[in-house]
Chains A and B, each alone.
Chain A
Amino acid sequence: MSERVASACMAFANWPRRLLSDNLGRLALITALVFAGMSVAQPALFLTRANFSSMAFQFPEFALLGLAVMVSMLTGGIDLSVIGLANLSSMLAVMAMRSLAADPHAPGAAPAIAVGIAALLGAGALGGLLNGLAIAAIGIPPILATLGTGLIFTGIAVVLSDGAAVLGFPDAISVLGNGALLGVPAPVLVFAALAAALAFLLNWTSFGLRVYLLGTNALAARFAGINNFRITLGAYLISGLLAAVAGLIIAVRANSAKADYGASYLLLSILISVLGGINPYGGFGKVSGLVLAVLSLQFLSSGLNLLQVSNFAVDMTWGALLLLVMVINTGGLRRPFGARVVRLIERRKR
């Protein structure tokens, strides 16, 4: 009996070690530490309603892109075209809206907005499908395929806009980028809804489970009856849709669409994914991890900005953070399949 009590006490006392040994726990700790650190550094400026509001309006943009990259990473691939697709989709959206509601300030723009959203999502879906086909049907490695399509998406956007910003968003839609509901900024609501939906899709549907397994071992997935082609296509389709929504938020907040918005967001979205515990080789990663990573980076970014640190230094900090997290996570990160199998065979034969 005393043994049971003793082991229960040990388990209880072990909570720091257990927290640290779990990826998500570690991440939550890092997020809390960053928040604390930034608060201590500039309490008067960081812990204000204005700052929280500003942070809340900023992070959904790259958070949505992070979600997009996450889905592709889970299948063992990567999507480098998210920025290009985001910009192209938002550009097509504003052009559609503009053609139906020539005067942005006139009321009754609802049908124009609806058509614009349809164009947005349509573009995102088509772009995602293109990626999926290049990777699943033709067999181009994801880095190269999305590199190519990303250039094409950006290129089309450049051609359509001649490199300039495209104006014409109806006034009504700016609420999406600048409005709030019950104090919560609209972009945060959009992100929260999509993040929750994605988390549900990944954790509670057959599709989600198949994505995780495909990313773990594509060959075994075939043998187990998973339709690899359809799942890959689906994953990149979702990626494209998420990228499109991200593009809309970015464009609405800037009140214009441009081909080269968010150029630095590509690295950031990959950083968020890896920081959030998404295994770059595929098969593992949760939305909750991504959310924590987003928050960490936003706190860091805002805090540093309040400390008058330049954007370049923020970039540098992100890079350093990525390296740091990788080093800490070294034990958990899994190698390409061959090495993994060899090591496992050795371990089990003993």
Chain B
Amino acid sequence: MPSEPLLRLGGVSKAFAGVQALREVSVAINRSEIVCFAGENGSGKSTLIKILAGVVTPDDGAIEVDGRVRPAWQPIDAMRAGIQVIYQDFSLFPNLTVAENISFNHELSQRRMLVRWPEVRRTAQRALNKVGVAIRLDALVEQLSVADKQVVAIARALVQGARLIAMDEPTTALTQREVQALFGVVRRLKADGVAVIFVSHKLPEVFAICERIIVLRNGSKVADGPVGAFDIGSLSQHMIGRRLEQHAGARSHDFGAEVLRVEALGRAGQFDDVSFSLRTGEVLGITGLLGSGRTELANALFGLAPADRGAVVVGGRRVRITSPPDAMRLGIGYVPADRLTEGLFLPQSIGRNIVVSNLETVSDAAGILYGARMRALIDEWVRRLHVFTQDADLPASSLSGGNQQRLMLARWLARTPRILILNGPTVGVDVGSKAEIHAIIARLASDGMGVIVISDDIPELLAACDRILVMQSGRVTEQVARSAVDEDSLAARLAG
């Protein structure tokens, strides 16, 4: 068994447009090892993965594979060396079958003109067997669940002779059971001699599957050691840079009247029998893995996919919410999970992105817009939420993740909603902005807004919420007060 590492990155640095993404990072990945790259957004995890995949060239430092230094490392070199990355969108072909997707690259690289279908099926079946999951070879990939698609992506990597598979946030869209199944696959890969890099920011998972943890923070490696050398607290501290307070932000205000009550709310196939209430000044957290129904619940409260049973009571009145305008009229605002596709109009100006949900305040009865009112509204909210931009006419795409999220908040806060629902408010946001957004949430609550935060980020839930609802398979499994839980117990509850 060769003792040298499969892959070694020595002192790699990389800057993009003046921002230092990586600072002299040195890591070594051994054969058949399960390593976790842990870190918050903006820590440099993705850049590191891209460098070892040959997609990005480092400004400084060396890449060593199988003991040999590789001066010009390109994606094709990485593939030939057996280094494969599975990104969050899997790069599959939805209109082709499972068998074809798995064998596609292999067939392509053979440079043969004709397709040998029996061979394609054999190759695919062999790969699926190695992964240990059974999926119908003739199924179209677009019909598969996210978990199965991921398996197809892993199988494809194996067909290409992968010796190292890096998975970028692989559990984002998986249910609890599917996460366990994925862990099983990862262990099989290890047994087969494949090294796995597991990129994640979810602490419970890191501890469940990894043998070694490498922590990145602000572009530097801050920790590197066997998993036994860490606990949730110390790992969290490495990632964030400070120890999480046990009782963060003791509420300095009292909760007011009930602003929202949900009674046995349900929607066929998505969630059922959900009941809770929210008071003004309160921050309620809703958590659960994918499939738990938490996003679906939010969609129902905002009218995107209305509930078909149960009742919603807003400000003491029973209401029916069948569309987003309905919800908005009731004073409900919603910052969706995926701001790039669901929230923002990227090529449109920052100003328009703010004004879109506030047209009534800047226009008259006939719908005619008032330029002065629009400008005033935009300027005010850009300032209040510190959306860092020189010009509100610049497109929203010119903003960083943190600023874009602030833009989304500006849009909804300009309406002064009674109830604000935030789905994954700090996903893809740098650490600094994350803290600020939490501060904003706290301020909103103390100003009397009822806030619902949907998140699977345990530190975030503990930092921001007064009460936490845990959902699983469409039902609420328990409600706990913030003071009654800590990281480990909440993680345990999430894991079911």
Contacts and interface: CB of A to CB of B under 8 A. Distances in A.
A341 B340 contact: yes
- From B348, B357, B360, B366, residue with most partner A Cβ within 10 Å: B348
Nearest to A334: B347
A16 interface: no
A222 B352 CA distance: 15
Contacts of B343: 220, 223-224
B359 A219 contact: no
Interface stretch (B127-135, B211-219, B320-328): B320-328
A204 to B, nearest CB: 5
B142 to A, nearest CB: 14
B367 A205 contact: yes
A4 interface: no
Contacts of A212: 348, 352
Q: Is the interface of A mostly helix, strand, loop or mixed?
A: helix
A318 interface: no
Contacts of B357: 224-225
B346 A341 contact: yes
Interface stretch (A38-46, A247-255, A342-350): A342-350
B485 interface: no
Contact of B411 (A224, A340, A344): A224
Contacts of A205: 363, 366-369
A239 B344 CA distance: 27
A267 interface: no
Q: Is the interface of B mostly helix, strand, loop or mixed?
A: mixed
Interface in A222-270: 222-227
- From B47, B360, B368, residue with most partner A Cβ within 10 Å: B368
A201 to B, nearest CB: 9
Contacts of A225: 324-325, 328, 356-357
Given A207-B367, A209-B352, A220 B345 contact: yes
Q: Chain A contact residues (Cβ within 8 angstroms of B): what range?
A: 20 to 34
A340 B341 contact: no
Contacts of A348: 397, 400-401
A214 B411 CA distance: 17
Contacts of A178: none
Interface in A191-225: 204-207, 209-210, 212-213, 216-217, 219-225
Interface string B45-81: 0110000000000000000000000000000000000
B145 to A, nearest CB: 21
A204 B369 CA distance: 5
A283 interface: yes
Contact of A219 (B341, B363, B401): B341
A206 B346 contact: no
B347 A283 contact: yes
Contacts of A341: 340-341, 346
Contacts of B347: 216, 283-284, 334, 340
Nearest to B339: A220
A24 to B, nearest CB: 15
Contacts of A206: 359-360, 363, 367, 369
B459 interface: no
B68 to A, nearest CB: 28
B449 to A, nearest CB: 18
A192 B368 CA distance: 20
Interface in A323-350: 334, 337, 340-341, 344-345, 348-350
Nearest to B324: A225
B21 A350 contact: yes
A209 B345 contact: no
Given A216-B348, A224-B411, A209 B336 contact: no
A66 B371 CA distance: 28
B340 A349 contact: no
Contacts of A221: 345, 356
Contacts of A213: 345, 348, 352, 356
Contact of B355 (A209, A283, A345): A209
B400 A222 contact: no
Given A216-B346, A345-B340, 13 more contacts: A210-B359, A213-B345, A216-B348, A219-B341, A220-B344, A222-B304, A224-B324, A224-B357, A225-B357, A226-B356, A283-B348, A348-B400, A349-B16
7 contacts: A205-B366, A213-B352, A224-B411, A341-B346, A344-B397, A349-B16, A350-B16
